[in-house]
Structure 1
Amino acid sequence: MSDPANAATGRAFPDILSRSAIKIDRVVITSTVRIPIKPWQIVSSPSRTVMALLTNIPLDDLYTRLAPITVPPSTSRGKFSNWGQTFHCTPLAIFEPEDEYQCELILELARREKKVVRAAGIGHSPSDIACTKEFMLRTQKLNRVLSVNVEKRTATVQAGITLNELHAHLADHGLAMMNVGSISDQTVGGIVTTATHGSGVTYGVISTHVMSLKLLLADGTYVTCSRHERPDLFVASICGLGTTGLILNVELEVEPAFRLKEVAITQPFEDVIQNLDEIAHAAEHVRLAWIPAADRIRVGLMNRTREEKTPAGSWFSEVFLGFYVLEFILFVGRFFSSANNFAGLLFCWLSGSKSVRVDDSHRVFNLDCLFLQYTTEWAIPYTRSQACLRELHSWLSQEYGDPNGLRPHFPIEIRFSAADDIWLSPSQGQKTCWIGIVQFKPYGLYVPYKKLFDGFETILARHGGRPHWAKAHSLRREKLRSLYPHFDDFIRVLEDVDPRGLFRNEYIRRHFFDGQADGRIFKLRQ
């Protein structure tokens, strides 16, 4: 490769995939075959000696060693876009390490060149949390299951494994995740660092099921942390937005594999809100899908069961009508807002008045996200959920009464989680109601959303809302400090383990350190 890897120095990553063999300490390259000798084959544990070896490597050699895992900037993979295609960046260099030693090399290069390193997984977060103009470390190839302990009900995995991959591995051992969100495309590292959640008033965010972490810190040292070993670093890291160190391994609490039975009933909005507390506690896992155009809420009650799986729905209703026709109507809604109302009514009709489904747990937890979308989600104290939802309903009713008013898409998703003690978790110290809103992008096309989201967030903020960390928001340091009692504790740990800000990309500098980075700098459309 001859593309520049460092615009400041003009240095290029050497083309080391040549016919001649090149021997470089721990990596031998002949033609296009690399035979790495792992760090643990040299020393039993990371040490100052290993760190000294890294600092002794000439800078040119660092670039040479990293060339095989550097994505050519001229290719499509040399750029990064999130799943919703709402944020985009072109990093100075993108690395795809396959082992821990290569991660060490990336951090060593970043220290020398004074660059930020940002870890990124699948890129499902609907924000610029993964974006950077500097070094990006993609974790997809760090995706192995390291151990499974059936008796202790734990699994240790590399942070780059996706939940979909993990579900399959756990099933082979008769195990399953205890609680899962609406999708399973994300990496384990991604869901841990953002405190991603499922639903259930007695179930915490997924980070509460993390038993221990293995981190590579900014100075190149390895650390294992848990509730009992370096607990402050652990609590800061299990919702740390990737700032405390590079998460390498995650030990998760799991449970014996189970099926879920979901009974879903569609009811009038006011009937549900009036009995919200009773409904939220009516099953192990409860989620609500509010369809504003129909003034109805789809109530999903999920419990563990041993019943047989139910057959899949029909292709005509679920795919032809529920995807292709729906997307076309949303496309028309870009020009005629009344079509958005019809799309919501069709979605409500397709959902039916009542349905029952039984399947493996993760398949019931997960939902079809349908189309590319803009989305935002906030967490409020559970005690404020009725008042907040009624205020949202009043606001949207006014919009529907205006021929030129806002027309939200569907559904507005309402979920619940138990209180936890994780410093930056939106559920920290409070039983929580999560409320999320979407605006779909039919055929990947732009739709107006900002005015709708601004109104939504204003109401949520009045009820003590905390933003979902993976999703775009505008809160800065002082507001976050007022929302999170342990905000300063988190910053203290951050300054201790990464005083120079090796892992602080534009998102982190903007929200945590009042940096000048524009919140829309990586937006695909302004």
Structure 2
Amino acid sequence: MFSLRQWQGSNDWQNWVGYERAAPEQKLTPSSVAELQEIVKNARANKKRVRVTGAAHSFSGCAKPEEIAVSLHNMRGLILVDKEANLATLYAGTYLYEIGAALKEHGLALENMGDVQAQTIAGAASTATHGTGITLGSIANQVVTWEWVDGKGELHTHHRGDPKTDELGNALHASLGMLGIFTKLTLKVVDIYGLKESNEVLDFEEGLAHFHETAHSHRHLEWFLFPGTNKIQQKTLSVIAPKAMTGTQKIKDHFDSVVTLNGAFYVLCELARMKPSLTKKVSEISASSIPNTKREGYSYEVFPTPRGVKFNESEYFIKLSDFDECISEVNHILLNDNKGSHFPIEVRTHKGETGMLSPTQGE
């Protein structure tokens, strides 16, 4: 999670995983649109580059601030709800973990989320951050209105139109900050709902044989393929009536997060790093340690998975029609030579989008 104390107490900056580092000349935290406009105008006058760093959760150097770093930490919160139209307007610096409870008070929820909730809504929308679900798109796909400050310090607003003709909307869809700094976003939201999560370990062949059926019969499907083991963890999420997660489940989740998912897995990761010959064994232990579990709660309680073990990842989008052949070849390669890798390969589904920089490009 972003720490304002750390931000203000150090001249340095680094992303979540620590691979991208910088020492910006200034770190600024505006509290209003007017302050942000002034920052941009001054930077322009002094020929300085501005980067909004969000929660620094991008794996790339996309938000690496080399001159002026800006945090929207002081521009957060739910601004307006239109219950009849199912719309919610948020300040751009609002963190994903703050949105669920705020919307719940109005009987609403985000249509979809990923399993990480540390990002800001602006960062998630700018980078097409996504969850899983064959009928569901990214966070960017939920945005219907953007407000932003451009490189001259001028304020703009745009309402999403027909994706076939709305060039500006398609450019804003996943803009990586290139068109300016988002200040407010209006999202299309849905009525509040609950989710039931189920986890099980399967042989690769069994999971693949039912992959498409499972993807269509559940709102969400996610895989974790353990390199060199021929095993997958399959996670499905199905919609249930809205209900709060029980206190017992929250305690169990915390224990699993601290002890199993992060504590034990961290030790295994360190073993593999220090002694690469143990990599395959570590992968086998990881696969065999996944319990068959179920849990229920409000959607925003079930979506997130704590990530205590830091990692750096790349993501590849392929057509669903090519999935079976592609993942089978990947699994075959890793069974013969796991390439010194023990970290699970994550598989998700995603509907097509029309944004100019959308990785799905309508597929």
TM-score (structure 2 length as normaliser): 0.91
Match of 1:372 in 2: 310
Q: For residues 73 and 187 of structure 1, do their structure 2 counterparts lie closer, same or farther at Cα, with a shift above 3 Å needed?
A: closer
Contact preservation (8 Å) 2:265, 2:309: no
Rounded Cα–Cα distance in structure 1 between residues aligned with 2:254 and 2:144? 41
Any idea what the Cα deviations from partners look like across 1:299-356, whole Å, max 9, x if unmatched?
Answer: 212111128646423776653344323322321222222433333333323322x322
Contact preservation (8 Å) 1:141, 1:160: yes
Match of 1:155 in 2: 88
Segments of structure 1 that go 5 or more residues without pairing to the other structure are 1-70, 401-405, 431-526
Rounded Cα–Cα distance in structure 1 between residues aligned with 2:357 and 2:17? 25
Match of 1:326 in 2: 265
Rounded Cα–Cα distance in structure 2 between residues aligned with 1:133 and 1:255? 39
Pick 1 or 2: higher relative contact order, CA cutoff 8 A, min separation 6: 2
Rounded Cα–Cα distance in structure 2 between residues aligned with 1:234 and 1:201? 23
Match of 1:424 in 2: 357
For the residue of structure 1 that corresponds to 2:208, the secondary structure is helix
Compute the displacement of 1:226 (Å). Answer: 1.6
Q: 1:477-488 residue pairs with structure 2 within 5 A?
A: none
For the residue of structure 2 that corresponds to 1:166, the secondary structure is helix
Rounded Cα–Cα distance in structure 1 between residues aligned with 2:8 and 2:236? 46
Match of 2:229 in 1: 294
Rounded Cα–Cα distance in structure 1 between residues aligned with 2:305 and 2:49? 35
Give the total of aligned pairs. 354
Compute the displacement of 1:216 (Å). Answer: 1.2
Rounded Cα–Cα distance in structure 1 between residues aligned with 2:138 and 2:8? 37
What amino acid does structure 2 have at the position aligned with 1:355? T
Contact preservation (8 Å) 1:289, 1:299: yes
Compute the displacement of 1:87 (Å). Answer: 0.8
What amino acid does structure 1 have at the position aligned with 2:328? R
Compute the displacement of 1:292 (Å). Answer: 2.0
Q: For residues 132 and 323 of structure 1, do their structure 2 counterparts lie closer, same or farther at Cα, with a shift above 3 Å needed?
A: closer
Match of 1:483 in 2: none
Compute the displacement of 1:198 (Å). Answer: 0.9
Query: Is the counterpart of residue 111 in structure 1 residue 44 in structure 2?
Result: yes
Query: Is the counterpart of residue 128 in structure 1 residue 61 in structure 2?
Result: yes
Rounded Cα–Cα distance in structure 1 between residues aligned with 2:323 and 2:118? 29
Compute the displacement of 1:425 (Å). Answer: 0.6
Rounded Cα–Cα distance in structure 1 between residues aligned with 2:191 and 2:22? 41
Q: For residues 282 and 86 of structure 1, do their structure 2 counterparts lie closer, same or farther at Cα, with a shift above 3 Å needed?
A: same
Compute the displacement of 1:157 (Å). Answer: 0.6
Query: Is the counterpart of residue 262 in structure 1 residue 262 in structure 2?
Result: no
Contact preservation (8 Å) 2:91, 2:184: yes
Query: Is the counterpart of residue 218 in structure 1 residue 157 in structure 2?
Result: no
Contact preservation (8 Å) 1:180, 1:198: yes
Match of 2:177 in 1: 242
Query: Is the counterpart of residue 273 in structure 1 residue 208 in structure 2?
Result: yes
Q: For residues 80 and 318 of structure 1, do their structure 2 counterparts lie closer, same or farther at Cα, with a shift above 3 Å needed?
A: closer
Query: Is the counterpart of residue 337 in structure 1 residue 289 in structure 2?
Result: no
Contact preservation (8 Å) 1:108, 1:220: yes
Rounded Cα–Cα distance in structure 2 between residues aligned with 1:347 and 1:363? 25
Query: Is the counterpart of residue 359 in structure 1 residue 294 in structure 2?
Result: no
Any idea what the Cα deviations from partners look like across 1:30-88, whole Å, max 9, x if unmatched?
Answer: xxxxxxxxxxxxxxxxxxxxxxxxxxxxxxxxxxxxxxxxx999964322111111111
Rounded Cα–Cα distance in structure 1 between residues aligned with 2:79 and 2:7? 34
What amino acid does structure 2 have at the position aligned with 1:379? F
Match of 1:98 in 2: 31
Identity among equivalent positions (%) equals 26
Rounded Cα–Cα distance in structure 2 between residues aligned with 1:383 and 1:250? 34
Rounded Cα–Cα distance in structure 2 between residues aligned with 1:154 and 1:328? 44
Q: For residues 202 and 212 of structure 1, do their structure 2 counterparts lie closer, same or farther at Cα, with a shift above 3 Å needed?
A: same
What amino acid does structure 2 have at the position aligned with 1:319? V
For the residue of structure 2 that corresponds to 1:334, the secondary structure is helix
- State which of 320, 327, 332 in structure 2 corresponds to 1:394: 332
- State which of 285, 288, 303 in structure 2 corresponds to 1:349: 288
What amino acid does structure 1 have at the position aligned with 2:214? I
What amino acid does structure 2 have at the position aligned with 1:417? H
For the residue of structure 1 that corresponds to 2:286, the secondary structure is helix
What amino acid does structure 2 have at the position aligned with 1:204? G
Compute the displacement of 1:266 (Å). Answer: 1.5
Match of 1:252 in 2: 187
Query: Is the counterpart of residue 231 in structure 1 residue 170 in structure 2?
Result: no
Q: For residues 216 and 359 of structure 1, do their structure 2 counterparts lie closer, same or farther at Cα, with a shift above 3 Å needed?
A: same
Q: For residues 395 and 149 of structure 1, do their structure 2 counterparts lie closer, same or farther at Cα, with a shift above 3 Å needed?
A: same
Rounded Cα–Cα distance in structure 2 between residues aligned with 1:79 and 1:146? 32
Contact preservation (8 Å) 1:282, 1:301: no
TM-score (structure 1 length as normaliser): 0.63
The structure having more radius of gyration, on CA atoms, is 1
Q: For residues 295 and 368 of structure 1, do their structure 2 counterparts lie closer, same or farther at Cα, with a shift above 3 Å needed?
A: farther
Match of 1:34 in 2: none
Contact preservation (8 Å) 1:322, 1:350: no
For the residue of structure 2 that corresponds to 1:357, the secondary structure is strand
For the residue of structure 1 that corresponds to 2:349, the secondary structure is strand
For the residue of structure 1 that corresponds to 2:334, the secondary structure is helix
Q: 1:421-460 residue pairs with structure 2 within 5 A?
A: 421-430=354-363
Segments of structure 2 that go 5 or more residues without pairing to the other structure are none
Match of 1:520 in 2: none
Match of 1:194 in 2: 127
Contact preservation (8 Å) 1:322, 1:347: no
Rounded Cα–Cα distance in structure 1 between residues aligned with 2:201 and 2:86? 37
Rounded Cα–Cα distance in structure 2 between residues aligned with 1:74 and 1:203? 34
Compute the displacement of 1:221 (Å). Answer: 2.1
For the residue of structure 1 that corresponds to 2:200, the secondary structure is strand
Query: Is the counterpart of residue 146 in structure 1 residue 79 in structure 2?
Result: yes
Any idea what the Cα deviations from partners look like across 1:227-252, whole Å, max 9, x if unmatched?
Answer: 24993222211200000111110000
Rounded Cα–Cα distance in structure 1 between residues aligned with 2:34 and 2:261? 47
Superposition RMSD in Å: 2.4
Q: For residues 298 and 120 of structure 1, do their structure 2 counterparts lie closer, same or farther at Cα, with a shift above 3 Å needed?
A: same
Contact preservation (8 Å) 1:161, 1:187: yes
